[in-house]
Amino acid sequence: MSQQDFFSQESSSTKEPASSEASSSSNSPSISVPVKEASSQIDDLRHTINLHNHRYYVLDEPSIPDAEYDRLLRELQTLEQQYPEFITPDSPTQRVGGTPLPGFTEVQHERPMLSLDNAMNAEEFKAFELRLRDRLKDDQTIEFACEPKLDGLAISLLYEQGKLVRAATRGDGVTGEDVTQNVRTIKNIPLALQGNDYPSRLEVRGEVYMPKAGFEAYNERALAEGIKPFANPRNAAAGSLRQLDSRITAKRPLEFCAYSMGVVSGDVELPDTHFGLLEKIQYWGLRINEETRVVKGLDAAQDFFIKLGAKRHSLAYEIDGIVFKVNSLALQETLGFVARAPRWAIAYKFPAVEELTQLLGVDFQVGRTGAITPVARLKPVHVAGVTVSNATLHNMDEIARLDVRIGDTVIIRRAGDVIPQVVSVVLDRRPSETIKITLPESCPVCNSHIERVEGEAVARCAGGLVCSAQRKEAIKHFASRKALDVEGLGDKLIEQLVEADLIHSFDDLFHLQLDELIALERMAEKSAQNVLKAIEKSKNTTLARFIYALGIREVGTVTANNLANHYGFLDRVMQATKDELLEISDIGDIVASHIVNFFAEEHNRSVIEQLRKAGVHWVESEPDNAKEDAPLHGQVAVITGTLSQMNREEAKAKLELLGAKVTGSVSAKTDFLVAGEKAGSKLTKAQQLDIKVYDEAAFLAFLASY
């Protein structure tokens, strides 16, 4: 798995109707639909799916269950496979492109994409309002449209005859880059506008951004993987849109919010206020910011700034200020522009969230997987309303990149709820005596050796469960809500249990005695009994929870679920080869290696054995796709090469739904091979072994026959 696509392993908790890469369904028409009927059915389905996408991604008001949405999408996919001549770029099945681009082409903006002047404080904002009234030679109260200023990347979307034909970055305002293929993967951007009264050419401008939850989840995983995290949501959006392979962008939780129109042509009547334009944009199916308001006059504008500023940390996305725009389009016209910025708008910025302080020392913390994270101990400093005395330094590479030393004056940034970061060192203020930061040779907790795997930025304590820090974190994870869900076994209690030497391994949890618990500080008999009851109850679990609880690196709840659904039995998961694992959705190279290595470790197999002996159990059954009555039950298939009508993941899902087992390599056990374009050694091997080979056309016909 590459650095770029590692985020796909655990899609963050962003909401999403069930997979848009759904496979063929048992409800899919098995008899070919006549061509005329197919065409109108395809139109109807696209219309319905687009409406549901809009309800889900733009309005946040889904009106059908995910399963029903999936069924519609599958129906459309099946029809489009039968009639590929009806596939159009605006079909909801066509968001992710199949082939990486060689590079980005330039786009000349027909109307320059402007930037904004800033107001850094109340005086500057007041001066802006005064300038407006002065220019307008009018003492009237000015009406402002007020919009949050998102921390993302400005993007232009061009719709022709209601279809998204091009998306471009702002670039220098005159020339940007064509990022259409990537922007098409952003699910709240409609590929086709709603309604029928839109201009024949319409350019919508706005911000692509990564909401806080997605940004934090990405960075958490990046750190665990030893990959450089994004410094801020803006970099996250820009980095994600600058991928040449749109399949990577598709896995990043990006969203779009519109804030203005660019080119508009065609015979349409438009409103005479900025807010009216935004409402139109919203009506045509794009998101505008839900916090946007119209206010009258300076005082009301200041009031809005203070109120939204107070609630900005509770918003799902990062904002760094508020954009105030003169609401009347006629007045905007009168006011005009200076250089690259309109006179009628200003970005009123929130106070800085960066401060200077001194680095007093560095502590090395040990995480669940042994990852050693350097944490900066800072001279306490007030940043955006919070006293900060620690900040993450991520890893030794980051320390080298920053060239930071103990004693240095550093800039600290606090963005929303994100852990404070050391942004840079103020070299001018470097004292003559500074101390270089070095990685300790042994673990600060258990004294085990610290190792650094080549190519990984993260250093790890080699102590495993011998290290009490790792043990504490591993057991916290094992007992956590999404794992074995042991109610009442909180972090503090786990720390006490480890410190009292009562727990060395997961299974020790199931052998705890009442008197051992009561002997702990602040543990009453009743609470101890409740804890034991909860531990007992947690023995009855599910395979997915159990796999997740084991704490295999990079295996979160989504991957654990996929493994459980795919194999149905723990022993099969434990015996899975890397090639087999790679065929499971969401499992890439690194995760597959972590899984194989985990189960290859005798110590881990023995822990599992002990847990089973202690009574931890779950229901095991053949996965649905292997049910005996499925038409391809017992057949083993391999997919190779590039398919044009679907990606391999989809082809695999279709075969699995029909009961086939899809593996990664051709062997004597293989029943048939699906060979797309540029099939290589697998095809040669299948031919040598006289295994049936389907090319793409034959494969589609084969699927259609079911």
Active-site positions read 149
CA separation for the pair 378, 421 (Å, rounded): 11
CA separation for the pair 6, 224 (Å, rounded): 11
Strands (E), 125-269: 143-150, 153-160, 163-169, 175-177, 201-209, 255-265
Which alpha helices (H) appear in 480-601, and where do they start and end?
A: 491-499, 514-518, 525-538, 543-549, 557-567, 570-575, 578-582, 589-600
Angle, helices 233-241/212-225, rounded to nearest 10 degrees:
80
Which pair of tokens denotes residue 466? 């011998």
The smaller minimum CB distance to ligand 5U1, of residues 118 and 505, is found at: 118
- Strand 661-663 vs strand 636-640: parallel, antiparallel, or unpaired? parallel
- Strand 337-338 vs strand 341-342: parallel, antiparallel, or unpaired? antiparallel
Side chain identity at residue 411, one-letter code: I
Neighbours of 172 (CB within 10 A): 12
**Element housing 296 (H / E):** strand 293-296
Beta bridge partners, 153, equal: 208
Side chain identity at residue 696, one-letter code: E
**Element housing 107 (H / E):** strand 106-108
Label each residue of 97-150 as H, E or C.
CCCCCCCCCEEECCCCCCCCCEECCHHHHHHHHHHHHHHHCCCCCCEEEEEEEE
The smaller minimum CB distance to ligand 5U1, of residues 114 and 498, is found at: 114
Q: Which residues bind ligand 5U1 (CB under 6 A)?
A: 114-116, 147, 149, 154, 259-260, 323, 325, 342, 345
Q: Helix (H, G, I), strand (E, B), or coil: what is residue 440?
A: coil
457 contacts 396 by C-beta, under 8 angstroms = yes
Which pair of tokens denotes residue 123? 């005086």
Strands (E), 337-480: 337-338, 341-342, 345-349, 354-366, 371-383, 386-392, 409-413, 421-425, 450-452, 459-461
Q: Helix (H, G, I), strand (E, B), or coil: what is residue 455?
A: coil
Neighbours of 602 (CB within 10 A): 8
Beta bridge partners, 341, equal: 338
Side chain identity at residue 269, one-letter code: E
Q: Helix (H, G, I), strand (E, B), or coil: what is residue 555?
A: coil
318 contacts 415 by C-beta, under 8 angstroms = yes
Which pair of tokens denotes residue 201? 């050419």
The least distance separating ligand 5U1 from the CB of residue 201, rounded to whole angstroms, comes to 18
Residue with tokens 């249990």: 497
Beta bridge partners, 406, equal: 435
CA separation for the pair 530, 616 (Å, rounded): 18
Quick one: CA torsion of 46, 47, 52, 58, rounded to 10 degrees? Answer: 110
